[in-house]
Amino acid sequence: MTDTTQLSDQSIPERAVHKADAFKEPPAPKRVMSIHAHPDDQEFTVAGTLAKWARAGSEIISVCITRGDAGSNDQTPREMTQAELARLREREQHNACRVLGVAHVVFLDYPDGVLQPTLELRRDLTRLIRQYKPDVVVCGDPTVRFYGESYMNHPDHRVAADVTLDAVFPSAGTRFIFPELLAEGLAPHQVKKIFIHGADKPTTFIDISTTLDQKIAALKEHKTQLNDWDPGEMMREWARDEGKEHGLEAAEGFRVMILQEEESQE
């Protein structure tokens, strides 16, 4: 904070400082866990960043809390059963993750559309975090209820994000929360950073100009949700909007919470 005075002494315009900050893109983490409610949530939101990190060598674990078996009335043929839809959507998620270079895909099989912030879900996510030991967790923003004037954030999205944050802190790192996990041989694990997408005021922007096509290709794997609709134009517009204030052609914005500084601190 005290740096501000120094900077203004050197007559660097505030705007330029802001821009320079935006370009300080964090390095690709070693291991990332991306946690979402439904198949396709990840592809609509953070897939450009994941693809970029995968190219840089990050090991990525994608967790889908439901199998998307509620789908949407518009896109689901009347004759399709829920079990059939779940099977198809699971396969689509695997295909999308393959396009992105995501190494592991995990399904928790909670029912779609009625997700609740239960301790059972928190324990399941805590278990995965302790098993895979990610440095970074990627999830949504549980505090955002409304986007613009025509989209109310899906309750499953809010719950998935809320419980993920609770699993990261304090559950994953605290020995005596869920002692049954200790009994399973899962020691506490401290996640270093959380990347929260869909936040009102993102603080970190990842340049996805080199992976935007890959993001769109991955999203197109969710055929049951898109049918004839080509999401390319909308995704390009979102990426442009997200990047334009920071001089980026295409970006994904995040609120980043730093829970533990990198080792080099010492």
Return residues touching Zn ion (CB under 5 A).
38, 41
Query: For Zn ion, which is the closer residue by CB, 65 or 181?
Result: 65
Strands 193-197 and 151-152: unpaired
- The least distance separating Zn ion from the CB of residue 26, rounded to whole angstroms, comes to 26
Render 213-238 in DSSP notation, one character per residue.
HHHHHHHTT-HHHHTT---HHHHHHH
Query: For Zn ion, which is the closer residue by CB, 193 or 222?
Result: 222
Residue 196 and residue 139 in contact, taking contact as beta carbons nearer than 8 Å: yes
Query: For Zn ion, which is the closer residue by CB, 171 or 225?
Result: 225
Give exposure, 18-41, as e/b (b: 16+ Cβ within 10 Å). Answer: eeeebeeeeebbebbbbbbbbbbb
User: Residue 124: how many CB atoms within 10 A of its CB?
Assistant: 18
**For residues 191 and 137, what is the distance between their CA atoms, to the nearest angstrom?**
7
- The least distance separating Zn ion from the CB of residue 41, rounded to whole angstroms, comes to 4
Measured from each CB, the residue nearest to Zn ion is 38
Query: For Zn ion, which is the closer residue by CB, 68 or 243?
Result: 68
- The least distance separating Zn ion from the CB of residue 88, rounded to whole angstroms, comes to 16
- The least distance separating Zn ion from the CB of residue 113, rounded to whole angstroms, comes to 10
